[in-house]
A = this chain, B = another copy of it.
Amino acid sequence: MQEIFRKAKKPGLDPGTLVHVGARKAEKVKITIIDYNEQQYEEKEANTVEECFPFKNSQTVTWINVDGIHQVDIIEKIGNHFGVHPLLLEDILHTTQRPKFEDFFSYVYVVLKMLQRNRETDDIEVEQISLILGDNFVITFQETVGDVFDPVRERIRNNKGRIRKMWADYLAYSLIDTIVDNYFVILESVGEGIESLEEELVVNPSRETLHNMHMVKRDMLVLRRSVWPLREVISGLQRGESALFKKGTLVYLRDVYDHTIQVIDTVEAFRDMVASMMDIYLSSISNRLNEVMKVLTIISTIFMPLTFITGVYGMNFAHMPPKDALWGFYACLGLMAGVVGTMLYFFRSKKWM
């Protein structure tokens, strides 16, 4: 649920008051610095916030990653040193932001949602990634340790591809791209869930199936809320609305934009499929009821007349014609057989059997 609605902070606080709003907390804030240019590369964990400060005006590209945003003073220090607007710091701390980007000319602020499937509960977990792109640095804020950025780190370390040759905006792009790429992993798992649901529906629909459909719907709700606003974000970036993304990077952003559209398309297609499955489920319940009722009706229709016949000759009237005849009993049994035959014929003609 926590992904669905923004936890209400205390209303009426002075805007720009820094309060952390959100559930999970990393145990300790962890700051990692990756600093590189085409020739050199350095990676280290910062023990104090102040270690990041010199990189503000260096000639290299610097990626400062902050895991854990519950220690408000750390965020504030970074914000002050890098000249970040207080309202924006407030946004970083509110982990239920809608994906958006804001251009402050000397830096761009991008909020994204990183989705990961929790291995234990099988829920989709939403983590807010705040990204600040300055002229020569990228600062990312994550709610907790653990992310999907390892391939990017790897490419920087090993100087693979063009990332070390490019500037900070390409790094920002790479991080956004990795997050969007990861949506496809989530989509694939949702898609597999839908496929197995479809099989369940055909083979043996049960209450469990209904519950699973509901779960898939919620997964898709989470996806939609993460992806729909993303579309506008990347559309804006890709149109070059911010001068910090250089022209050479825009073509890459266009690629990310295409992927975002694909994710949205797929989510919408999934919605259609689940809606259609719901219909099938409902009609399979009705079908099953029909089947049960047919059995009941067949049984009743056969045995009620029979029981009636036995009732007639179970009466104690003194005079009941073939009662005393030797063949009476057999005639009666024959009559019953006739009734059964007629009934069976009737049901067959109605295609109930």
Which residues of chain A have a CB within 8 Å of any CB of chain B? Answer: 1, 4-17, 85, 87, 90-91, 96-98, 100, 102, 148-152, 154-155, 160-163, 174, 177-178, 181-182, 184-185, 187-188, 191, 195, 202, 204, 207, 210-211, 214, 217-218, 221, 225, 229, 251-252, 254-255, 258, 261-262, 265-266, 269-270, 272-273, 276, 278-290, 292-297, 299-301, 303-321, 323-326, 328-329, 332-333, 351-352
Contact = CB atoms under 8 A, between A and B. Distances in A.
Contacts of A290: 285, 288-289, 292
Given A296-B293, A310-B312, A149 B329 contact: no
A264 B200 CA distance: 32
Given A207-B287, A307-B311, A329-B315, A148 B14 contact: no
Top 8 A-B pairs, shortest CB-CB distance: A12-B151, A14-B161, A310-B311, A11-B181, A8-B184, A313-B315, A303-B304, A296-B297
A322 B317 CA distance: 8
A280 B214 contact: yes
A8 B319 contact: no
B310 A332 contact: no
B4 A87 contact: no
Contacts of A303: 304-305, 307-308
A292 B295 contact: no
Specify how many copies of this chain sit in the oligomer: 5
Contacts of A87: 251-252, 255
Contacts of A333: 312
Contact of A287 (B285, B296, B299): B285
B11 A151 contact: yes
A205 to B, nearest CB: 10
Contacts of A187: 5-6, 8
A177 B11 CA distance: 8
Contacts of A174: 12, 15
A15 B255 contact: yes
B317 A313 contact: yes
A162 B279 contact: no
A332 B306 contact: no
A34 B332 CA distance: 89
Contacts of A310: 308, 311-312, 314-315
Contacts of A13: 151, 181
Contact of A185 (B8, B17, B279, B320): B8
Contacts of A273: 4, 218, 221
